[in-house]
């Protein structure tokens, strides 16, 4: 691609940056170099504006309107400031908390956010050093803030950064605020409209005092401290994957009473380049390799990991053959749900108004466990902001026990209103201690759950479609399934289709539709006659479409586990092939 065949609209947007007196000379020099030497990168950097979505801002770092940089962050933050000043116009002061993770430029971007907000008259509580996402959510609630910002790209690759916006209940934005903030951001037409002149008198630094308050409240969610003392020397391997978890997770484990914690030192160094791993995602086995190696070396009882902003948790346990395996997100959610409900039962805490929450793509095993104990459960859309909304809607009427999703995020209690890997790590270790008190490993406890409720097996296929063309391809895939839904898949009839975009469920045999009482979302689900659940949705944070598969079979004995699991794996593969995804 040469300058002569660059899309004129893209060239015009790049030239606007070169002509803008508010853009610094270094940035202009790099943009000029792109025009002259790298038109393909220019196209990716300027073909659109980096979208401020319902969860906030996220993108690849670099120069241009479609990149995370000082100017796109500043414009988004100015829009946020304008909205907060409108909504809370009658308040004496508007308060906002800001935290950041280990990523490259996270500290820099957090300072820009603080400068823009304080320049607009807001009181800013800024963490002095990197801290986990759950502590940011906690700080919003603890300090009675009106909003919060967490500078992070979660578990995205190292090239990314972004930020998540929180409302005054410590949860990420939901309607109407998410859409209204987006509208205000879209009104910011140029960098010249952004006030970058921060007011240091309005910026208050947060430090260890907030850490201590967070840990103190987190400790109150311990349900069986009596089982920890005999298991205090249980060997726990922990890796923060170069992220913020190192600031809080070891302290939280010790706070609960666990003393034998072994940290993967090479990954305890905060580094946004993530030098020991390709991807800082505890869902991926490669990211857990060093932790598993250390576990084998010391014969650990439990392996724990957190992602860069410490809102997701990865777990490794020993199977009955002594091999270390990684639990998937549904298995971890099942164990946590089972443990929480069993302890609430044992302690006489179940009064009849308690509930748990899961997302629609999470295993139905979670709802089976809740129903088995007579505990109410709610389904919600993917994302913890929707779990937080359920809590908000039931505040003062019902008691939230816990919630989770298949993508390794969990929330115990409601003092934090987002995924909380800090507390989840401690509670999961407590669950391991409880299992040990019964002469069982966590793996054996999981098998017991399968014997009682059935063996569920899930898989996830990500179809990545990058760049300008990728968005169109993903949209076309969803429209294809929506307009021409399959009648059968891999030999089993489709009996029900849930279309969350249309907010309706369709009985395939009769054609009868019923409303779905959840917000509109671009998600499709197919339920098959054999009990299979297939879900598909475009990712809200990455250039891909996700396909979720869930199958189930009764499990008669633990001796049948591996054969039954293999059959279910084979069934999932049949479905994937039948859908043309392999």
Three-class SS of residue 170? Answer: coil
Dihedral sign for Cα 419, 420, 425, 428, please.
negative
How many residues are present in the chain?
582
Structure tokens, 15: 């030239």
* Region for residue 352 given its phi and psi (left: phi exceeds 0; alpha: psi -120 to 50; beta: otherwise): left
φ and ψ of 192, to 5 deg: -65, -15
Report the sign of the C-alpha dihedral through residues 277, 283, 286, 292, in that order.
positive
Q: Which residues are catalytic?
A: 154
CB atoms within 10 A of CB 490: 18
CB 170 within 8 A of CB 141: yes
Q: Which helix (H) or strand (E) holds 181?
A: helix 177-187
**Is there a cis peptide before residue 176, judged by omega within 30 degrees of 0?**
yes
Instruction: Indicate the SS3 state at residue 60.
Output: strand
CA dist 103 and 268 (Å) reads 14
User: What are the phi and psi torsion angles at 462 (to 5°)?
Assistant: -100, 125
Could you tell me whether strands 504-507 and 492-499 are parallel, antiparallel, or unpaired per DSSP bridges?
antiparallel
Contact 228, 258 (CB under 8 A): yes
Q: Which long-range contacts (CB under 8 A, 24 or more apart) does 375-379 make?
A: 375/341, 375/350, 375/401, 379/518
Measured distance CA(330)–CA(335) in Å, rounded:
9
Q: How far apart are CA 59 and CA 110, in angstroms?
A: 15
Q: Rounded to 5 degrees, what angle do the CA atoms 66, 57, 128 make?
A: 120
Answer whether 291's CB lies under 8 Å from 305's CB.
yes
Please state the three-class secondary structure of 21-42 as a single string: CCCCHHHHHHHHHHHHHCHHHH
Q: In this structure, are strands 533-538 and 544-553 parallel, antiparallel, or unpaired?
A: antiparallel
Residue 447 main-chain phi, psi, to 5 deg: -65, -40
Kindly give the residue spans of alpha helices, DSSP state H, lying in 201-328.
208-219, 225-228, 249-256, 289-298
């Amino acid at each position: 691609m040469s300058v002569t065949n660059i899309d004129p609209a893209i060239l015009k947007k790049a030239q606007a940056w070169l002509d803008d007196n508010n853009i610094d000379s270094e940035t202009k020099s790099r943009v000029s170099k792109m025009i002259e030497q790298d038109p393909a990168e220019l196209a990716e950097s300027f073909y659109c504006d980096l979208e401020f979505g319902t969860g906030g801002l996220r993108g690849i770092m670099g120069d241009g309107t479609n990149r995370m940089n000082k100017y796109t962050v500043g414009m988004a933050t100015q829009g946020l400031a304008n909205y907060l000043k409108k909504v809370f116009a009658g308040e004496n002061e508007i308060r906002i908390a800001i935290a950041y993770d280990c990523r490259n430029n996270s500290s820099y971007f957090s300072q820009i956010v603080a400068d823009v907000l304080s320049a607009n008259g807001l009181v800013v509580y800024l963490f002095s050093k990197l801290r986990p996402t759950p502590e940011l959510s906690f700080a919003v609630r603890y300090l009675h803030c009106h909003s919060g910002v967490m500078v992070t790209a979660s578990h995205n690759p190292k090239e990314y950064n972004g930020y998540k916006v929180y409302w005054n209940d410590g949860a990420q934005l939901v309607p109407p605020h998410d859409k209204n903030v987006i509208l205000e951001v879209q009104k910011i037409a140029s960098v010249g409209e952004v006030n970058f002149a921060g007011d240091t008198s309005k910026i208050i630094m947060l430090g260890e005092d907030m850490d201590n308050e967070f840990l103190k409240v987190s400790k109150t969610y311990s349900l069986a401290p009596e089982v920890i003392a005999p298991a205090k020397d249980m060997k726990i391997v922990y890796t923060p994957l170069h992220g913020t978890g190192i600031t809080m997770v070891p302290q939280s484990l010790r706070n609960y009473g666990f003393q034998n914690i072994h940290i993967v030192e090479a990954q305890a160094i905060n580094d946004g380049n993530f030098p020991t791993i390709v991807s800082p995602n505890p869902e991926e086995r490669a990211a857990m390799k060093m932790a598993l190696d250390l576990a084998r070396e010391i014969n650990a009882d439990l392996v724990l990991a957190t992602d860069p902003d410490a809102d997701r948790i990865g777990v490794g346990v020993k199977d009955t053959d002594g091999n270390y395996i990684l639990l998937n997100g549904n298995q971890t959610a099942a164990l946590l749900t089972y443990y929480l409900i069993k302890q609430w039962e044992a302690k006489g805490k179940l009064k009849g108004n308690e509930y748990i929450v899961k997302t629609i793509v999470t295993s139905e095993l979670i709802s089976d466990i809740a129903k088995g104990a007579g505990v109410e459960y709610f389904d919600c859309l993917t994302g913890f902001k929707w779990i937080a909304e359920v809590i908000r809607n039931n505040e003062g009427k019902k008691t939230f026990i816990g919630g989770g999703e298949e993508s390794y995020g969990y929330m115990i209690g409601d003092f934090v209103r987002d995924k909380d890997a800090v507390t989840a790590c401690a509670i999961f270790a407590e669950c391991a201690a409880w299992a040990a008190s019964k002469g069982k490993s966590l793996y054996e406890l999981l098998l017991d759950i399968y014997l009682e409720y059935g063996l569920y097996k899930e898989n996830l296929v990500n179809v990545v479609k990058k760049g300008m063309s990728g968005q169109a391809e993903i949209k076309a895939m969803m429209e294809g399934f929506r307009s021409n839904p399959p009648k059968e898949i891999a030999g089993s009839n489709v009996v029900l289709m849930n279309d969350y975009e249309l907010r309706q469920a369709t009985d395939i045999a009769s054609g009868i539709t019923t409303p779905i009482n959840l917000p509109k979302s671009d998600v499709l689900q197919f339920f098959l006659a054999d009990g299979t659940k297939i879900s598909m949705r475009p990712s809200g944070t990455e250039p891909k479409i996700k396909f979720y598969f869930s199958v189930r079979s009764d499990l008669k004995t633990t001796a049948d586990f591996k054969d039954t699991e293999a059959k279910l794996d084979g069934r999932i593969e049949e479905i994937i092939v039948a859908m043309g995804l392999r």
